[in-house]
A and B are shown apart, each in its own frame.
Chain A
Amino acid sequence: ETGVTQSPTHLIKTRGQQVTLRCSSQSGHNTVSWYQQALGQGPQFIFQYYREEENGRGNFPPRFSGLQFPNYSSELNVNALELDDSALYLCASSLGGDSGANVLTFGAGSRLTVL
Protein backbone atom coordinates (compact mmCIF):
# COMPACT_ATOMS: atom_id res chain seq x y z
CA GLU A 1 0.00 0.00 0.00
CA THR A 2 1.18 3.50 -0.75
CA GLY A 3 1.77 5.87 2.12
CA VAL A 4 1.02 9.58 2.41
CA THR A 5 2.77 11.68 -0.21
CA GLN A 6 3.20 15.43 -0.09
CA SER A 7 4.35 18.01 -2.62
CA PRO A 8 6.38 20.06 -2.99
CA THR A 9 9.03 18.93 -0.51
CA HIS A 10 10.62 22.35 -0.24
CA LEU A 11 9.60 25.81 -1.36
CA ILE A 12 10.52 29.42 -0.76
CA LYS A 13 8.05 32.29 -0.86
CA THR A 14 8.12 35.95 0.02
CA ARG A 15 5.95 37.72 2.54
CA GLY A 16 2.46 38.46 1.23
CA GLN A 17 2.44 35.67 -1.34
CA GLN A 18 0.10 32.69 -1.41
CA VAL A 19 1.04 29.01 -1.32
CA THR A 20 -0.71 25.72 -2.04
CA LEU A 21 0.53 22.44 -0.58
CA ARG A 22 -0.75 19.07 -1.75
CA CYS A 23 -1.28 15.73 -0.09
CA SER A 24 -2.30 12.28 -1.30
CA SER A 25 -3.68 10.15 1.49
CA GLN A 26 -2.78 6.55 2.16
CA SER A 27 -4.84 4.06 0.18
CA GLY A 28 -8.09 3.31 1.99
CA HIS A 29 -7.95 6.38 4.25
CA ASN A 30 -10.79 8.90 4.03
CA THR A 31 -9.70 11.56 6.52
CA VAL A 32 -6.90 14.09 6.15
CA SER A 33 -5.41 16.32 8.83
CA TRP A 34 -2.88 19.09 8.44
CA TYR A 35 -0.27 20.11 11.01
CA GLN A 36 2.26 22.92 11.23
CA GLN A 37 5.61 22.08 12.81
CA ALA A 38 7.82 25.07 13.56
CA LEU A 39 11.52 24.45 14.05
CA GLY A 40 12.17 22.73 17.38
CA GLN A 41 8.47 22.43 18.21
CA GLY A 42 5.85 19.72 18.15
CA PRO A 43 3.27 19.70 15.37
CA GLN A 44 0.24 21.97 15.81
CA PHE A 45 -3.15 20.94 14.46
CA ILE A 46 -4.43 23.19 11.67
CA PHE A 47 -7.60 21.37 10.55
CA GLN A 48 -9.07 18.08 9.47
CA TYR A 49 -11.14 17.13 6.41
CA TYR A 50 -13.60 14.27 6.24
CA ARG A 51 -15.95 13.65 3.32
CA GLU A 52 -14.73 16.83 1.66
CA GLU A 53 -15.75 19.05 4.58
CA GLU A 54 -13.73 20.70 7.32
CA ASN A 55 -14.28 18.66 10.46
CA GLY A 56 -12.37 20.41 13.22
CA ARG A 57 -9.97 23.35 13.25
CA GLY A 58 -7.11 24.46 15.47
CA ASN A 59 -6.11 27.96 16.44
CA PHE A 60 -5.16 29.20 12.97
CA PRO A 61 -6.51 32.29 11.19
CA PRO A 62 -8.86 32.08 8.19
CA ARG A 63 -6.01 32.72 5.74
CA PHE A 64 -5.23 29.03 6.30
CA SER A 65 -7.77 27.12 4.24
CA GLY A 66 -8.07 23.71 2.72
CA LEU A 67 -9.86 21.37 0.38
CA GLN A 68 -10.46 17.67 0.19
CA PHE A 69 -11.26 16.04 -3.13
CA PRO A 70 -13.46 13.01 -3.91
CA ASN A 71 -10.35 10.78 -4.06
CA TYR A 72 -9.53 11.95 -0.49
CA SER A 73 -6.46 13.92 -1.53
CA SER A 74 -6.19 17.37 -0.02
CA GLU A 75 -4.73 20.84 -0.40
CA LEU A 76 -3.63 23.37 2.19
CA ASN A 77 -3.72 26.99 1.07
CA VAL A 78 -2.12 29.85 2.94
CA ASN A 79 -2.76 33.43 1.86
CA ALA A 80 -0.87 36.59 2.76
CA LEU A 81 2.17 34.70 3.95
CA GLU A 82 3.96 35.94 7.05
CA LEU A 83 7.49 35.23 8.21
CA ASP A 84 6.12 33.10 11.09
CA ASP A 85 4.48 30.78 8.58
CA SER A 86 7.92 29.32 7.89
CA ALA A 87 7.59 25.72 9.06
CA LEU A 88 7.28 22.09 8.07
CA TYR A 89 3.70 21.35 7.04
CA LEU A 90 2.65 17.79 7.69
CA CYS A 91 -0.28 15.99 6.19
CA ALA A 92 -1.68 12.92 7.92
CA SER A 93 -4.36 10.52 6.82
CA SER A 94 -6.53 8.14 8.80
CA LEU A 95 -9.73 6.16 8.74
CA GLY A 96 -12.84 7.89 10.04
CA GLY A 97 -14.57 6.45 13.05
CA ASP A 98 -13.69 6.13 16.71
CA SER A 99 -11.35 3.19 16.51
CA GLY A 100 -9.00 4.43 13.88
CA ALA A 101 -9.39 8.16 13.61
CA ASN A 102 -6.57 9.00 15.96
CA VAL A 103 -4.09 6.59 14.36
CA LEU A 104 -2.50 8.92 11.87
CA THR A 105 -0.15 8.11 9.02
CA PHE A 106 2.06 11.10 8.29
CA GLY A 107 3.74 12.24 5.13
CA ALA A 108 7.32 13.53 5.08
CA GLY A 109 6.12 17.12 4.95
CA SER A 110 6.54 20.27 2.89
CA ARG A 111 9.21 22.65 4.15
CA LEU A 112 8.03 26.26 3.59
CA THR A 113 10.40 29.17 3.99
CA VAL A 114 8.98 32.69 3.91
CA LEU A 115 11.45 35.49 3.25
Chain B
Amino acid sequence: GDSVTQMEGPVTLSEEAFLTINCTYTATGYPSLFWYVQYPGEGLQLLLKATKADDKGSNKGFEATYRKETTSFHLEKGSVQVSDSAVYFCALGGSTLGRLYFGRGTQLTVWP
Protein backbone atom coordinates (compact mmCIF):
# COMPACT_ATOMS: atom_id res chain seq x y z
CA GLY B 1 0.00 0.00 0.00
CA ASP B 2 0.89 3.66 -0.12
CA SER B 3 3.33 4.83 2.53
CA VAL B 4 5.97 7.41 3.37
CA THR B 5 9.23 6.86 5.23
CA GLN B 6 10.74 9.96 6.70
CA MET B 7 14.08 10.61 8.31
CA GLU B 8 13.73 10.42 12.06
CA GLY B 9 14.69 13.34 14.23
CA PRO B 10 15.26 15.31 16.12
CA VAL B 11 17.49 17.45 13.94
CA THR B 12 19.41 20.25 15.64
CA LEU B 13 21.24 22.88 13.58
CA SER B 14 22.88 26.22 14.04
CA GLU B 15 21.44 29.22 12.26
CA GLU B 16 22.54 29.48 8.60
CA ALA B 17 23.35 25.75 8.39
CA PHE B 18 22.21 23.61 5.45
CA LEU B 19 19.17 21.42 6.02
CA THR B 20 18.20 18.11 4.45
CA ILE B 21 15.31 15.97 5.62
CA ASN B 22 15.02 12.71 3.72
CA CYS B 23 11.72 11.31 2.54
CA THR B 24 11.04 8.22 0.43
CA TYR B 25 7.70 6.83 -0.62
CA THR B 26 5.94 3.72 -1.83
CA ALA B 27 2.91 4.18 -4.04
CA THR B 28 0.95 2.84 -6.93
CA GLY B 29 0.42 5.19 -9.81
CA TYR B 30 1.68 8.75 -9.82
CA PRO B 31 0.92 10.40 -6.49
CA SER B 32 1.34 14.03 -5.56
CA LEU B 33 3.96 14.71 -2.88
CA PHE B 34 3.86 17.32 -0.16
CA TRP B 35 5.79 18.80 2.71
CA TYR B 36 3.75 20.19 5.60
CA VAL B 37 5.08 22.10 8.60
CA GLN B 38 3.60 22.19 12.09
CA TYR B 39 4.57 24.96 14.49
CA PRO B 40 3.97 24.45 18.23
CA GLY B 41 0.30 24.60 19.11
CA GLU B 42 -0.81 24.98 15.51
CA GLY B 43 -2.24 22.82 12.76
CA LEU B 44 -0.34 21.71 9.70
CA GLN B 45 0.51 24.22 7.00
CA LEU B 46 1.35 23.31 3.42
CA LEU B 47 5.00 24.19 2.77
CA LEU B 48 5.38 22.97 -0.80
CA LYS B 49 4.17 20.35 -3.22
CA ALA B 50 5.00 18.57 -6.48
CA THR B 51 2.51 16.79 -8.65
CA LYS B 52 4.66 14.89 -11.15
CA ALA B 53 8.13 13.46 -11.64
CA ASP B 54 10.98 15.99 -11.83
CA ASP B 55 8.78 18.79 -10.51
CA LYS B 56 10.48 21.00 -7.94
CA GLY B 57 8.35 22.51 -5.21
CA SER B 58 9.68 25.59 -3.46
CA ASN B 59 8.55 28.05 -0.82
CA LYS B 60 10.23 30.29 1.80
CA GLY B 61 13.68 29.08 0.75
CA PHE B 62 12.74 25.40 1.06
CA GLU B 63 12.92 23.10 -1.97
CA ALA B 64 12.11 19.49 -2.79
CA THR B 65 12.32 17.62 -6.10
CA TYR B 66 10.03 14.72 -7.00
CA ARG B 67 12.41 11.91 -7.99
CA LYS B 68 10.52 8.97 -9.43
CA GLU B 69 13.64 6.90 -10.09
CA THR B 70 14.62 6.96 -6.41
CA THR B 71 11.05 7.39 -5.07
CA SER B 72 12.23 10.34 -3.01
CA PHE B 73 11.15 13.87 -2.13
CA HIS B 74 13.90 15.22 0.13
CA LEU B 75 13.42 18.64 1.73
CA GLU B 76 16.33 21.10 1.58
CA LYS B 77 17.10 24.63 2.66
CA GLY B 78 20.40 26.36 2.16
CA SER B 79 20.39 28.51 5.30
CA VAL B 80 18.01 27.79 8.17
CA GLN B 81 16.73 30.38 10.62
CA VAL B 82 15.59 30.09 14.22
CA SER B 83 12.04 30.69 12.98
CA ASP B 84 12.23 27.45 10.94
CA SER B 85 12.11 25.43 14.15
CA ALA B 86 9.07 23.18 13.77
CA VAL B 87 7.99 19.64 12.90
CA TYR B 88 8.14 18.78 9.20
CA PHE B 89 5.95 16.11 7.63
CA CYS B 90 6.37 14.48 4.25
CA ALA B 91 3.08 13.33 2.75
CA LEU B 92 1.80 11.46 -0.28
CA GLY B 93 -1.55 12.02 -1.97
CA GLY B 94 -3.34 8.68 -2.08
CA SER B 95 -5.90 7.34 -4.51
CA THR B 96 -8.74 8.67 -2.36
CA LEU B 97 -9.12 12.37 -3.06
CA GLY B 98 -8.20 14.31 0.04
CA ARG B 99 -6.46 11.37 1.67
CA LEU B 100 -2.84 11.99 2.54
CA TYR B 101 -0.38 9.45 3.90
CA PHE B 102 2.00 11.17 6.31
CA GLY B 103 5.43 10.29 7.56
CA ARG B 104 6.11 10.35 11.28
CA GLY B 105 7.49 13.87 11.21
CA THR B 106 10.94 15.33 11.83
CA GLN B 107 11.48 17.80 14.66
CA LEU B 108 13.85 20.58 13.60
CA THR B 109 15.43 22.88 16.18
CA VAL B 110 17.59 25.77 15.02
CA TRP B 111 19.84 27.50 17.54
CA PRO B 112 21.03 31.10 17.13
Choose among A40, A56, A107 the residue that contacts B99 (Cβ–Cβ < 8 A). A56
Which residues of A are found within 8 Å of B6, using beta-carbon distances? 42
Tell me whether B42 and A41 are in contact (CB under 8 A). Answer: no
B100 interface residue (CB < 8 Å to A): yes
Q: Is the CB of B97 within 8 A of A55?
A: yes
Binds B, one of A62-70, A75-83, A96-104: A96-104
Cβ of B102 < 8 Å from any Cβ of A? yes
B66 within 8 A of partner (CB): no
Please report whether the interface of chain A is mostly helix, strand, loop or mixed according to DSSP: loop
- Docked-complex contact B44 and A56, CB < 8 angstroms: no
Q: Do residues A31 and B97 form an inter-chain contact, with CB atoms below 8 A?
A: yes
* A-chain residues with CB within 8 Å of residue B91 when the two chains form the complex: 42
CA distance A107 to B43 in the complex (A): 5
CB distance B97 to A106 under 8 Å? no
Whether A21 is near chain B, meaning CB under 8 Å from some CB there, is no
> Which residues on B sit within 8 Å (CB–CB) of A104?
44, 46, 98, 100
Chain B residues, Cβ within 8 Å of A92:
44, 98
Q: Are B100 and A101 in contact (CB under 8 A)?
A: no
How far apart are the CA atoms of A90 and B36 in the complex, in Å? 13
A43–B102 touching, CB < 8 Å: yes
Q: Among the listed B42, B99, B102, B103, which residue makes an inter-chain contact with A48, where contact means beta carbons less than 8 Å apart?
A: B99
Check if B97 sits within 8 Å of A108, measured CB to CB.
no
A110 to chain B, nearest CB (A): 10
The chain A residue sitting closest to B31, CB to CB, is: A102
A41, A98, A107: the one contacting B105 at CB < 8 Å is: A41
Q: Is B89 an interface residue when CB atoms closer than 8 A count as contact? A: yes
Given A43-B44, A108-B42, is A102 in contact with B97 using a C-beta cutoff of 8 Å?
yes
Residues of B close to A103: CB separation below 8 A: 46, 49
Kindly identify, within residues 57 to 112 of chain B, every residue whose CB is under 8 Å from any CB belonging to chain A: 89, 91, 93-94, 96-105
What distance in Å separates the Cβ of B11 from its nearest Cβ neighbour in chain A? 15
- B residues adjacent to A (C-beta < 8 A): 4, 6, 32, 34, 36, 41-46, 49, 89, 91, 93-94, 96-105
